Amino acid sequence: MAPSYIGNFHVIVNELYSPGVMVTNIHVALGTITGILAIYIILRMKFDLPQKFTVKRVKRLMRTTFTLWWLTFIFGLSFYLIYYVL
């Protein structure tokens, strides 16, 4: 997805406030945050991270990541509906 987003960045800048571009930007932002959190959770479970990088309430972090994943999925589905169905 990143190459397509970067390749069409000129369209995104020109039509910044159209519904399709706003849904795309939200989808990209949520997906990036969710991916970073998921990688952190995996690293925390696989390796013994230094104390300054650990989060005490991992279950809350996992629930947050899961919720963000669902939001990313919903915006991805909205993206599909806007560009390919409507």
With 90 as the cut, is the pLDDT of residue 86 above it?
no
Residue 7's domain comprises 2-85
Q: What is the pLDDT of residues 11-62, one digit of tens each?
A: 999 999 999 999 999 999 999 999 999 999 999 889 888 888 888 888 999 9
Is this structure's pTM higher than 0.95?
Answer: no
User: d(Cα 19, Cα 77) in Å, to the nearest integer?
Assistant: 14
Q: How far is CA 85 from CA 19, 23, 79, in A?
A: 14, 15, 10
Tokens at 9, concatenated: 């960045």
Asked if residues 35 and 63 have their Cβ atoms less than 8 Å apart, the reply is no
Number of domains in the chain: 1
The pLDDT of residue 78 is 97
